Structure 1
């Protein structure tokens, strides 16, 4: 009986040794395969390029819309200042003016950079002021001919930066 256990134990140990050797050989083969496949495949590169193109197609229009809104905000700020100055002018003189020079004489100040980028016009005068417009000049990075309008009756802006841009 002891002989049986001893022979069984010897076979069991030899099988364990073979398993360990096989496992070691398997690791060597796997590491060799990994070394052969260390780069990117063409399909992987194409997938990354497609994903980047999709993201760019979404992000670029959003960015341009953001920049357009920022440029229009400059004109809106100046138009708001012109409207407030014209209200003060009305309180002092009893009528609105269509002249920016009259408003400047009454105390309106606008930044020179804003005046370089935008040309302002006041539509109406006297008792009936209808709108104030800003038209971009050639100095503005967005190009000339863009118009931002402020309707006095509705107190709303329209035109460039509001989705209904009409370039003249």
Structure 2
């Protein structure tokens, strides 16, 4: 049994959450059949994340990692040169091309990537700009701020 969620009431009653609601809508539509290559997403710190993908058989030259705005794309394409001579009796190591997409939150950037023992690791960090970080506002003590007096309108001047 499948549960279908309707996000249209949220679109009508919220402002500025378009990207989040679109991401939820897109996630609902994604088929769960595409589960290769397997991957883990780990939160390693307050604003740090790690994506680890099992890409056995791929070299650094056959993998591409691209970040465009809030989308991280990891793709792998096997080169034809690596085919070994012989007939496979069983082929359990997948070598097919793939493209995996990850929707990133605002201000999340890729800080590094490595390929060790068939595991591709992509390090991510949320870097909030200084002007968007919370700041404390000092409260002045002692002298009160000068009062702003309301202007008298023409009718009040005439009545006086």
If the length of structure 1 is used for normalisation, what is the TM-score?
A: 0.22
Using CA pairs under 8 Å that are at least 6 residues apart, name the structure with larger relative contact order, 1 or 2: 2
If the length of structure 2 is used for normalisation, what is the TM-score?
A: 0.23
**Greater C-alpha radius of gyration:** 1
Greater helix fraction, Structure 1 or Structure 2: 1
